[in-house]
Structure 1
């Protein structure tokens, strides 16, 4: 009697690895559905993105332009500590040198988090307004929140530097 059970158990173990790549492919394809889209289009065409974003910002006192995300960068896939996310950012149509909103979306969990970034004024080296930047929707897991925070802050600082000092052609 134990032999059929052992045979079935061994056979089922041989089948398990074939499901792992399919799961990974499903995660990649769910991210691909967002890549290349403008933040405003994501709000309109992807209800799961809109719901996660609105939930993350909640009742925060952000400028009106953050409700529609009309001006911004196309969504891209980023990996933070082995987890795939969608990153997009938006700024005021008046210009991206003043305020910038970063949105990190995880389609698997349906959660969004991010940073409302106030870059230092390029004409004032002692400007401290970056200290008034605000995090939103950060995960409860401290290590994940720290990794996301470090990633977003580095991206925001790099983008601000690039915008303040455009390459001359």
Structure 2
């Protein structure tokens, strides 16, 4: 009986020990890549992204994510995710697509953001922004959406008012 208990403990330790370093290493392998490169070189990212946006009314440019920011690791509600974003050909003050990827679950969540037009007082186009692929877990969905709203607003503010040199 003691031998069986020891075997179970050892098997459990071996089964769970490599998960954390492997996940960390896999997340790091995505960092620094442009969104278009992720679609071409990371099959799991491409599959998750296409699944998340399937049936969502988005502009044609979002299919290829050609112009965007290099991916980075972000922490949302104590969990690590990959974040990348892409912009329309008219620029990031026109349309931005944020993509949050969790390689561990293979899921993508995101936000198609329409920043307010700075030169149009009372512009309401932000109301036409939309979510896609949010997790079914309400707490995770809220944490991701709050993070992306804050990030989108910060990015838009920075682009509209670049630092003076």
What is the TM-score with the length of structure 2 in the denominator?
0.91
Partner of 2:33: 37
3-state SS of the aligned residue for 2:91? Answer: coil
Show CA shifts across 1:83-125 (max 9, x none). Answer: 2211000001221101000001111111111000001111234
SS at match of 2:80: strand
Report the equivalent of 2:50. 54
Report deviation, 1:63. 1.1
Instruction: Name which of 131, 136, 156 aligns with 1:140.
Output: 136
**Considering only CA atoms, is the larger Rg found in Structure 1 or Structure 2?**
1
15-24 or 147-156: bigger deviation: 15-24
- For 2:121 and 2:164, the matched residues in 1 are separated by 22
More strand by share: 2
Identify which of 63, 70, 78 aligns with 1:82: 78
Residue pairs, 1:14-163, within 5 angstroms: 20-163=16-159
Alpha-carbon displacement from aligned partner over 1:135-156 (angstroms, at most 9, x marks no partner)? 0011111111101100111111
Gaps of 5+ in 1: none
Q: Give the aligned CA root-mean-square deviation in angstroms.
A: 1.8
User: CA–CA distance in 2 between the matches of 1:72 and 1:101?
Assistant: 9
Q: Name the SS of the counterpart of 1:51 in structure 2.
A: helix
Alpha-carbon distance between aligned partners in 2 of 1:80 and 1:125, rounded to the nearest angstrom: 33
Equivalences, count: 165
Q: Secondary structure at the match of 1:76?
A: strand
For 2:11 and 2:50, the matched residues in 1 are separated by 41
| TM-score normalised by structure 1 residue count | 0.89
